[in-house]
Structure 1
Amino acid sequence: MSDSTVPAPTFADLFEAIVDNISTVVHGKREAIEFALIALLGEGHLLIEDVPGVGKTSLAKALASSIDCTWKRVQFTPDLLPADLVGVSVYERSTEQFRFTPGPIFANIVLADEINRASPKTQSALLEAMEERQVSADGTTHRLDPPFMVIATQNPVEQEGTYRLPESQLDRFLLRISLGYPGRTAEMAILDGQGSIDALHKMEPVVSSDEVMQMIDAVKQVYLAPALKSYLIDLAEASRRHSSIELGLSPRATLQLAAAVRGHAAARGRDYGTPDDVKAVARSVLAHRILLRSGSNARTSAEEAIDELLADVAVPAAG
């Protein structure tokens, strides 16, 4: 058989290749890996919130290493300045002009490690890049090459010396996930050395940036029926009336939920979304976008409030 007759890899083939590649480093966390990839293909950003040592940074690095693209890691610290992230203009004596030197934000995948340790001023430097895929410096706008994704990590337990992410910043993340502790089998593999840092260093890209852009375009083509779109709006409206929710879901939340639903459907080999896709991604897409009321009647967690919305809002009938 000649090479010309070999079929091109399908979306499912490419998706599975990336997930399998990351799984060689991050053991026993397939759902988290899939969600990270869905965030990339939905042209969104990912917030990984968990305790130290469970693989947050490894997941981000493994995703970046699985794709033939540029990536940068930024360690967020209290003394990190916006210019350290965006870039600075340097005066060149030879030309008697200022030349813009791009910062680490100019990459396809940017790992913002421990994002809540930087000052709000530095955190806000990410807003324009995350929302508009561009940065402004010295009165000039610089476009960011696609694909572009910010993967941020933060430790929810150790709060000393940290700055809480504002709602406007949280709303820019398509998904917020936690990895949790590995299962016994996965932890045994880590002890055996299969999860060592050497495996991460040896990772090779399994898809090209062009193939990633094709996958992003394929996700955009996933069909959402009018009844399913109405279901998304019903969830948003119910959150704004919920007695335990102070700040309900914004229109941006509905758009982000639709993007995640399309990505989840495509990952399952379908070109149409279903209510099951909505339920699968709802917690990770919506929980960080609501603000609970204070008081004894408030829900113990945002995730529980989202579960209640899903239970209360009628699911559209098939047909």
Structure 2
Amino acid sequence: MAENPTYILSIESSCDDTAAAVMCNDKVLSNVVAGQKIHEQYGGVVPELASRAHQQNIVPVIDVALERAGIQKSQLSAVAFTQGPGLMGSLLVGSSFAKSMAQALNVPLIAVNHMQAHILAHFIDEEGFDKPVFPFLAMTISGGHTQIVKVNSFFDMQVIGETTDDAVGEAFDKSAKILGLPYPGGPLVDKYAQLGNPKAFAFTKPKVPGLDFSFSGLKTQILYFVQKNIAANPNFIAENINDICASIQHTIINILMDKLKLAVKETGIKQVAIGGGVSANSGIRKALTDAQKKYGWKTFVPKFEYTTDNAAMIGIVGYHKYLEQQFSDAATTSKARIEL
């Protein structure tokens, strides 16, 4: 490893958060995120509004990241950015800025896969958090993705299971919408679930072969369940909100854990790491901790701020790509869809 510190500025703009971070090797010096409140009134992310907000936020966010890190632009070793997957308009704001900045500073440009970053966030040097040892299994769960990945090395990853329709985060948000909860509803379902009885209402789990997931049937089931009960009692949701949320969360977690158990059985790998926005869910974190005791797994849950979209996770991939000299050029294009 180089004796001189490597300073990497990283930019993340795949959805509705404008984020910038500065890394010194594998340590985070600053990690700044600007959210976008505008989408709440629409009940979901509006791509056109997201890219406009990124344009407004990107300069101040990068300024703050450099200032907090105590680093001058001239000290930067490279600029890393999210190439995809994500919303095309949002990605373009981050990539255009990163390209211009790398060119102006005459430093390497590093394109990063957002999904790879969620997995490698576990390698950020953070006190009190262990790093997994290769090979390990990673379950990435977010608003747009649900997949189980066999991670052989930093840049050798194999998707062994993924959702055939909706992502788990969407299942949480849509369930919340059905219950009349504001967007984003996933964290609210978690909040109410902690006060309810997970066995109060039974939902059937979809039968999906192998390690793949499906959540669209569960969403439909929840919708019909709510409609039927409201017809019988207009106050059904208000009177049972905690139990409904607890039952929904219990079902979703069981679906995830069943597949994870199967993946461990099939691969023989007992190191399991989770990442992505939904890994902030308290029920999932508890289920993983319980599995560690029950099945002898070694489980890894990232620090809270590295679960949702952030630039530090882009920076850690940038650092490892920098060591391998995996650089990009100005012709690199953003991609709404991109394989691991």
Fold similarity call, TM over 0.5: no
Short-chain TM bin? under 0.3
- Answer 1 or 2: higher relative contact order, Cα 8 Å, separation at least 6: 2
Provide the TM-score with structure 2 as the length reference. 0.22
